[in-house]
């Protein structure tokens, strides 16, 4: 998804800097549909990120609540969940910032549509 957002931003940069005068209102509508898709993806990744964070916290609590026999297994599980949470946070951060930048492009397209 992050790659698709980057591609979308490159296309919008080319459209906004080009000499061609497209139907700005239509372009804004197309971008709004894309933003809705990206927002849905962002919501799904937020749910997954929060779930992984919760599992990480529960595993950390369980690691200290059990005896020494099971502590190694919970420690391994904790490291796994912590690693996955870190990667999900990084991905969610990129998604969030990408969608925020698309909001700026949408505003520019709306301004161009109003200037006609």
Transcribe 85-115 into DSSP letters: HHHHHHHHHHHHHHHHHHHHHHHHHHHHHHH
Instruction: Give the residue carrying structure tokens 């790659």.
Output: 3
Other beta carbons within 10 Å of 78:
20
- Please write the tens of the pLDDT for every residue from 82-105: 999 999 999 999 999 999 999 999
pLDDT at 9: 92
Q: When comparing pLDDT for 57 and 67, which is higher?
A: 57
Query: What size, in residues, is the chain?
Result: 116
More reliable by pLDDT, 70 or 89: 89
**pLDDT exceeds cutoff 80 at 116:** no
**pTM of the predicted protein model:** 0.79
In this predicted model, what pLDDT tens digit does every residue of 19-57 receive, in sequence order?
Answer: 677 888 898 999 999 999 999 999 999 999 999 999 999
């Amino acid at each position: 998804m992050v790659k698709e957002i980057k591609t979308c931003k490159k296309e919008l940069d080319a459209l906004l800097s080009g000499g061609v005068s497209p139907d700005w209102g239509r372009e804004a509508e197309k971008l709004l549909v894309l933003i809705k898709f990206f927002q849905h993806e962002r919501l799904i990744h937020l749910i997954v990120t929060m779930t992984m964070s919760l599992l990480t916290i529960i595993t950390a609590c369980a690691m200290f609540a059990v005896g020494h026999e099971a502590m190694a297994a919970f420690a391994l599980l904790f490291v796994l969940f912590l690693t996955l949470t870190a990667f999900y946070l990084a991905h969610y951060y990129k998604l969030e910032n990408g969608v925020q930048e698309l909001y700026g492009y949408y505003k520019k397209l709306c301004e161009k549509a109003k200037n006609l």
